Amino acid sequence: MDLQSILLNAVATYGLVAIFLSILISAIGIPLPTSFLLIMVGSLIEQGEMEFWPVIAVAATAAIVGDNIGYAIGWYGGHSPVLRICRGLNAEALLVKAEETSRKWGGASVFLSRWLLTAVGPYINLTSGIASYSWPRFVVWDVLGEVLWVVAYVQLGRFFNDRVAELSDALGDFTGVALGLAATTILVYMLIRNLRSSRAKQAAAQIEHTNSASAPTIAP
């Protein structure tokens, strides 16, 4: 039985408790297909088997609490312990990518990794803590992003009630494309910044050389 089936059986048996624990664990860093879970829950809401607002409240709360636990682990644990944990989860590359993204994009990286680049979300939490990114700002971006993620995916499940499996596969492909586009964007940004910095240094050196050449010579 795959993880998706296990999660669905858990939701069918334990309801909101299963949703809360699944999303909380995923936000902390244990990979679970929670986006798929929200789509399926949206389908259950449309079928009248669950209620919309309790699901939104429970799912968003779980995600926000889990994200802040991840932030606290990074804040208090530091880089080395977190790196060892990620190595144990075979997620070292994601941690490195998340750390670079956090330093470059700040709050935008927190917001986008809640609902768009969800694969790196838990690692953005860790690296935000490691980098001592402002906790109040982290919370603001986190709440905005997680509420958007929960509402969007639940609504997708409701709208595509009869085609949730196909929708889940399509979103999985989209996430991979989005990650590639994000990486490309960051690379282009870094290249442009380095190019501008190099040109600025060359211009400053040329001005200094010109000033030195035109300076009057004082006879002894």
Q: Please give the DSSP secondary-structure letter assigned to residue 49.
A: S
Cα dist from 51 to 9, 150, 161, 167, 203, whole Å: 18, 14, 15, 21, 63
What's residue 109's pLDDT? 85
Across the chain, what does the average pLDDT equal? 79
Q: Where are the domains of the chain?
A: 3-204
At 165, the pLDDT band (50, 70, 90 cuts) reads: low
What span, in angstroms and rounded, lies between the C-alpha atoms of 37 and 159? 15
What's residue 179's pLDDT? 42
Return the percentage of the chain with pLDDT > 90, whole number.
33
Sequence-distant (6+) residues with CB within 8 A of 109 are 98, 101, 102, 124
What's residue 172's pLDDT? 55
Q: Which residue has the tokens 């679970």?
A: 32
What's residue 176's pLDDT? 45
Q: Tokens for 80?
A: 């080395």
CB under 8 A, 24+ apart: contacts of 2-5 = 3/32, 3/33, 4/33, 4/36, 4/37, 4/40
Q: What are phi and psi of 181, to 5 degrees?
A: -65, -40
Q: Looking at the predicted structure, is the pLDDT value of residue 127 above 80? A: yes
pLDDT in tens, 170-214: 555 445 444 444 444 544 454 566 566 666 677 677 777 666 655
